[in-house]
Amino acid sequence: MPFERFIARRFMPRKGGGFAGPLATIATVGIALGVLVMVMAVSILRGFQKDITDKVVGFGSHIAVRSYVANPDYAGEAPMAVDSSLIEQLMAVDGVRHLQCFATKGGMVKTDDQIYGIVYRGLDERCDTTFYASCLVAGTLPHTANEVLVSNTIASRLHLGVGDKMRTYFWQGESYRARAFSVSGIYSTDLAEVDDIYVIGNLGQVQRLNDWGDSLVGGYELLVDDFGALDDVAAQVLLQLPYDLTMQTITQVHPALFSWLDLLNSNIALILGIMCLVSVVAIVSALLIMIFEKGATIGLLKALGATGRSVRRIFMLKAAQLVLAGIAIGDVVALVLSAIQARWQVITLDPESYSMAHVPVLIDGWTYVAISVGVLLVCMAALLLPATYISKISPARTLRTT
């Protein structure tokens, strides 16, 4: 074992031996708190971004293909023909994992004492129901054309429950058409723009209401494998579309929302910068106190033949031990707290204000690795400057004064 490591391991006991020992404990705790705050902040903010993105995408897909023609009907799309060859071309695009047909239709739900405006969202049998199943708070997904999902908001306002009948009127030109649906389930996304108006049902209902037949739909919805590659996949999808069809990505449909989510990254950077500064101040202070308090030891080591480089390495190794201990403690505490929140959702939120009922936490191993390595590198780089003071310590002067 190199003698620098041997001395560093026995250097500066935590109990007794002057002021440096307690300060080392404080420095370790400071680094641990810094790492804890950084990891929790990144995990919560990234969890918030992922939760909101998953809800918006889950309800509206990554890419929507529609007709160029505008539809004068309220909350509906102009019809487009189902083209099996085009569907095969779109599914063959690298990055596209799912395609489904949809159509929407505006209407009103009438109860004994209320009239409430809704948008009926019809989906075909190829619909990926994973998102809707995860949002269910009561009942089941629709199994027949006359069954629908209603939001918890609509159900509360209209006093509807699972199994109740819902009388709905749809606009059709100058007149209207009535349908009686059965509520098979109640969902909640905590997104007001969704829960306030949307009822989920069968595509065939919209086709019959509009007299389209089975060959016409409102559009195609595409899901991609990687949200980060959405723009590249969308560019490839656009190349496959004929002249009379257009497409929009979910970021184009909700530009303000996704700009706001991207803005949260600046908050992450600010928190990381502040907490890194706190960690640097803590460990640099501890190293300087070590150097001042162990001046006689430094002089003795130099008198015995140790070079300034070897003595600096001793202090750097000791400081590295403190940094690594703080990082390990911070990571462990952050992981435990994140796991508790993810499992039991201890900290709740107001859904109307935050679009979610609890604080979201994204547990990502790469976040822990990146923050831990980053803190270690920043702290060790900051220690290089105070460590150079060791070379200026004279053995004769330090030994004479002790």
Q: Do residue 179 and residue 76 come from a single domain?
A: yes
Q: Which of 178, 211, 243 is the last residue of a domain?
A: 243
pLDDT tens for each residue of 96-131: 999 999 999 999 999 988 999 999 999 999 999 999
pLDDT recorded at residue 387: 77
Q: Do residue 379 and residue 297 come from a single domain?
A: yes
Q: Do residue 304 and residue 221 come from a single domain?
A: no
List Cα–Cα distances, 363 to 20, 331, 333, in angstroms.
36, 11, 13
Q: Do residue 157 and residue 238 come from a single domain?
A: yes
296 pLDDT higher than 90: no
395 pLDDT higher than 70: no
Residue 17, in any domain of the structure? yes
Q: Do residue 223 and residue 317 come from a single domain?
A: no
Residue 253, in any domain of the structure? no
Residue 33, in any domain of the structure? yes
Residue-averaged pLDDT of the chain: 89
d(CA 104, CA 9): 70
**Three-class SS of residue 357?**
coil
pLDDT tens for each residue of 67-86: 988 665 555 788 999 999 99
pLDDT tens for each residue of 173-184: 778 899 999 999
Q: For residue 274, what are the domain limits?
A: 3-54+258-400
Q: Do residue 279 and residue 340 come from a single domain?
A: yes
pTM over 0.85: yes
Q: Do residue 307 and residue 187 come from a single domain?
A: no
The DSSP H or E segment spanning 149 is: strand 147-151
Q: Do residue 116 and residue 210 come from a single domain?
A: yes
Judge residue 70's burial from the number of C-beta atoms within 10 Å of its C-beta, 0-12 exposed, 13-18 middle, 19 or more buried. Answer: exposed
d(CA 346, CA 189): 19
pLDDT recorded at residue 123: 95
List Cα–Cα distances, 323 to 28, 152, 274, 381, in angstroms.
6, 50, 17, 12
Q: Do residue 89 and residue 216 come from a single domain?
A: yes
Q: Do residue 73 and residue 41 come from a single domain?
A: no
Residue 61, in any domain of the structure? no
Q: Do residue 226 and residue 357 come from a single domain?
A: no
